[in-house]
Amino acid sequence: MKRVLTTILLILITMSVVIAEEESFITLSSTTSTDNSGLLDYLIPKFKDKTGIDVRVIAVGTGRALQLGERGDADLVLVHHKTSEVKFIENGFGIKRRDVMYNDYVIVGPKDDPANIKYLTKAVEAFKLISEHKVPFISRGDESGTHKKELELWSLAKIDIQKYSGDWYREAGAGMGATLNIANGMNAYTMTDRGTWLSFKNRDDLTLLFENDPPLFNQYGVILVNPERHEHIKYQQAKLFSDWLTSNEGQQAIAEFALENQQLFFPNAQREIATVETE
Amino acid sequence: MVFVLNDFSQAFSKAIQLIFQLDPALLEIIGLSLRVSITAVLIASLIGLPLGAALALYKFYGRGIIVALLNAFMGLPPVVVGLVVYLILSRSGPLGVLGLLFTPTAMIIAQVCLITPIIAALTRQTILDANVEYHEQLRALGAKASRMMKTLLWETRFSLMTGVFAGFGRAIAEVGAVLIVGGNINHATRVMTTAIALETRKGDIELALALGIILITISLIVTSLVMSAKHAAYQYHS
């Protein structure tokens, strides 16, 4: 039995050594909207060419992405929910938040548009009509940035959405793509970021019904994980990436990225609106 | 029904296309899947085979509880195993200093936890059955329990393969645990099952299904290779 345990230990140690010797990399926890759209696949090789540092991406919801940072499992986070981000910094988990870019949400639904939201100009009105017609609406329901944004819009529309949970309002508890798959299957409405929508292929009867209203804009911020809390954090390298994202070069690369000839992310790092600095 | 058939035929042609293109990204994913699951099966066998045999042959206090636990653990939900391994390997967890989270090693550890109970429980049953058959013979030769364990493990080696295969099948097909502890990082920890889950999320059902077909094919190839080796060895011995 001792011999068996020794063998296992040896295998584990060898494997961890092999992994430790790999090229230099940092771990970024980010959201599915930046990863599934292909933005990070577009940006990271450019950064790697310049610095030799690879960026490994864990694509999860904003809530989980921040938690990975809090536990020290990521070196920096790129997320989109200001309130959670500020809380993350106030709790001492992160430092140096910077605005990077924004994208926007759209409302998609069945082609025949039973709630008649197609010609509206205000997102809040669209949410009101959906609730008046009691047409199925699929929510992410996963505490992600998108989910939190959607909840803000329901409350702006003065609708107590929890009352309808399980009725016409369905909480999927899933990522954006999975939620779109459900919306497709149930002929329902849902709110999605434009990037995931454009790269989503299983649309069938789903179509874009509402877009271009400022409350649907969505700010992304990059935050470095506080190295004072976790000494293994690759702070210097992570800072290089954060610097690059907000530099002219990084900002230009973000603007260049397009899907089906549409620009998805709009760089706005220079506008230092309400940046939280702890240093 | 017509639509479903259409989906499948499209996925099949996509799968064949992917295989013949020898797409490097696909090869990388297949390679990692096999590396992780085969390593996990080897380690789980090193633990599970002697453990199962010992539970069949040695009598000791608390054996019943261990056997019951082992049988229950055969059906461990992968997501729960993933979560527990994640908490242990996380930088804030007890083994955080090793820096193993989001590496193939973490995925191997999670899969070992999942499949060791399967291999151990099936080994125990096989050895119990064999012991009925050989017990008198071995005792007449004056064999001690440790000697009996080695002999029985060797004599039943072909039957034991069934348990090892059950373990391999579970490891290669499992997605919940490797997704949590591996993170599905492109070029680092992405395997067949997490890639399929990702493509499904992106709504690329055709690609997801094509990857699924390839996964099943690989599983089939590995299993039949070992089965034919086993068959050849069996004939050689008898």
Nearest to B185 among A1, A11, A57 (CB): A57
Nearest to A19 among B39, B105, B206 (CB): B105
Is pLDDT above 60 for B84? yes
From CA A240, how far away is CA A221, in angstroms rounded?
15
From A268, A241, A262, select the one nearest A46 (Cα to Cα). Answer: A241
> Cα A6 from chain centroid?
43
**Bridging pattern class, strands A189-193 and A137-139:** parallel
The reported pLDDT for the residue numbered B68 is 93
Topology match between the domains A2-103+219-267 and A104-216: yes
pLDDT band at B25 (very low <50, low <70, confident <90, very high): confident
Distance from CA of A181 to the nearest CA of B (A): 7
Q: State the ipTM, two decimals.
A: 0.75
Distance from CA of A271 to the nearest CA of B (A): 32
Q: Name the range with the highest mean pLDDT among A253-267, B105-119, B128-142.
A: B105-119
From CA A82, how far away is CA A79, in angstroms rounded?
9
From CA B31, how far away is CA A198, in angstroms rounded?
31
From CA A79, how far away is CA A150, in angstroms rounded?
16
Is pLDDT above 80 for A217? yes
CATH fold for the domain made of A2-103+219-267 = D-Maltodextrin-Binding Protein; domain 2 (3.40.190)
Write out residues 2-31 of A within 8 Å (CB-CB) of B.
Answer: 4, 7-8, 11-12, 15-16, 19-20, 27
From CA B223, how far away is CA B169, in angstroms rounded?
9
| Residue-wise DSSP of B75-106 | T--HHHHHHHHHHHHSTTSTTGGG--TTSHHH
The mean pLDDT of B5-32, rounded to a whole number, is 83
CATH fold for the domain made of A104-216 = D-Maltodextrin-Binding Protein; domain 2 (3.40.190)
Q: What percent of chain A stands above pLDDT 70?
A: 88
Nearest to B105 among A16, A57, A196 (CB): A16
The reported pLDDT for the residue numbered A225 is 94
**Helix, strand or coil for residue A57?**
strand
The reported pLDDT for the residue numbered A13 is 56
The residue with tokens 């579970």 is: B170
Which tens digit of pLDDT belongs to each residue from A241-252?
A: 999 999 999 999
Q: Which residue type, as a one-letter code, is found at position A113?
A: D
What is the residue-averaged pLDDT of chain A? 86
A208 half-sphere exposure, CB direction, 13 A CA radius: 14
Long-range interactions of A4-11: CB distance < 8 A, separation 24+: A4/B46, A4/B47, A4/B50, A7/B46, A8/B43, A8/B46, A8/B47, A11/B39, A11/B43
Which tens digit of pLDDT belongs to each residue from A227-246?
A: 998 888 899 899 999 999 99
CATH code reported for the domain at B36-237 = 1.10.3720.10
From A166, A192, A162, select the one nearest A177 (Cα to Cα). Answer: A192
Tell me the CA end-to-end span of chain A in Å, nearest whole number.
Answer: 54
The reported pLDDT for the residue numbered A273 is 43
Choosing among A17, A27, A71, which should be mutated to test the B contact, i.e. which has the most B CBs within 10 A? A71
- Domain positions in chain A: 2-103+219-267, 104-216
Q: Does A207 touch chain B (CB under 8 A)?
A: no
The mean pLDDT of B17-21, rounded to a whole number, is 80
Is pLDDT above 80 for B155? yes
Which tens digit of pLDDT belongs to each residue from A64-111?
A: 899 999 999 999 999 988 888 999 999 999 999 999 999 999 999 999
Which tens digit of pLDDT belongs to each residue from A177-201?
A: 889 999 998 899 999 999 889 888 8
The mean pLDDT of A122-139, rounded to a whole number, is 92
Choosing among A202, A228, A231, which should be mutated to test the B contact, i.e. which has the most B CBs within 10 A? A202
The mean pLDDT of A17-30, rounded to a whole number, is 73
Cβ-based burial of B20 (10 A; exposed 0-12, middle 13-18, buried ≥19): exposed
Distance from CA of A273 to the nearest CA of B (A): 32
